[in-house]
Structure 1
């Protein structure tokens, strides 16, 4: 997205129309879409980057996801609710929402970041969605944000439940691996990228000498869960081992 001039203003209007939202303070919307790399290349720009809004939006999403789950599942214990919430607001899920909202195209970033694939980077997309939520909360309040995000959270919840994404994938994979192969899975970091405040990790899982799956996350723990989940799906899809594959119903 161009960051200046009348064309940029039109693009912001089009984005709001696409998302069916309205900002009273357009500067908040602009800030939510501004990546730090843009300011590194344009130190005199009259806009802040979106990291503080990302921090706020992360907290707002945690609250709204928790509220939704608390009301939807009145009998679930705290531990199960926590696992469900973590599955809903994980990096990959929020990045998917950002793509649906076309936030990647709307991001304002430096040329180097863009050339490096910044518009499709999971961390950037997830951060943009969180920042948008944070900005909308400041601009319109919690009830407005709840109306905006609830349909997205509901869709993510249905996906989580149907695909068993709330299961502790690492524990499930370890149980299968020890029972079927007699070994414990090994997690190996294959890529660590991004600045300290916005790291992105890629981990792969080895069972014996075989790479079973890989995953991405904003921490090694979340990347390991993602890699374990991919491994379980691979096991299930290829009918490896016995009939009691971890995701079999």
Structure 2
């Protein structure tokens, strides 16, 4: 089953146990993927920093930092993980499975970073870098230097205003988890277009941003 994932990322593991660990959430068993996530986060930041440094030689440090933060944030990782159908390969405990953990943005983002870390250990820095650059290709190509980075809520608002449509309505639809690690569910509704999306996040703002991003994706569909 994991062969499909290896084909999607363009890397075949020599050590299949590394791949298995990268796909194992702590709710399932040990060893799990948190240590690999730590490693993957480091290589991801380094590879993206180098790509931005090489691609945009005239962009100042502060702008490069903001560009990198936008590319490595949870929602960007979530998009890439969904493109790989990563949730289908995750090993989760029964509680996480029942609560939809395979589609939870934080779990998907962490697993993708763990995957990067596993590739690094399996085949070295260059192999992990090549996978990251390939997966991030479209996002890197879409960057326009000097253009301000707008969050999803702002982009959605401006798009609706440009079409002279009412602004979206956001509402809290639920919470999950313990008080110290809650996940919020926020709905974004655009009545004029019959669009309703729902985002998850560790804060109201993060959940709203995800819901807005999903609404933008819906608006772009034919």
- TM (norm. structure 1) is 0.64
CA deviations on 1:148-200 (whole Å, 9 max, x unpaired) are: 110222212344659x782368999xxxxxxxxxxxxxx99775544689754
Give the direction of change, closer, same or farther, for the CA distance of 1:169–1:12 in structure 2 (3 Å limit): closer
Between 1 and 2, higher relative CO (CA 8 Å, sep ≥ 6) is seen in 2
1:59 equivalenced with 2:42 (yes/no): yes
Give the direction of change, closer, same or farther, for the CA distance of 1:35–1:22 in structure 2 (3 Å limit): same
1:69 equivalenced with 2:69 (yes/no): no
Gaps of 5+ in 1: 1-10, 40-46, 173-186, 206-212, 234-249
Partner of 1:96: 79
- TM (norm. structure 2) is 0.71
Structure 1 segments (4+ residues) deviating >3 Å = 158-162, 167-172, 187-205, 213-231
Partner of 1:23, secondary structure, is: coil
Give the direction of change, closer, same or farther, for the CA distance of 1:80–1:215 in structure 2 (3 Å limit): farther
1:25 equivalenced with 2:15 (yes/no): yes
Gaps of 5+ in 2: 156-169, 189-196, 217-222
What are the residue-to-residue correspondences of 1:184-195 with 2, within 5 Å?
A: 192-194=175-177
RMSD over equivalenced CA pairs, Å: 3.8
Give distance in 2, aligned partners of 1:65 and 1:78: 14
- 1:156 equivalent among 127, 139, 149: 139
Partner of 1:36, secondary structure, is: coil
Partner of 2:166: none
Give the greater-gyration-radius structure (CA).
1
Per the TM alignment, residue 108 of structure 1 is displaced from its structure 2 partner at its CA by 0.8
Q: How many residues align?
A: 202
Per the TM alignment, residue 129 of structure 1 is displaced from its structure 2 partner at its CA by 0.6
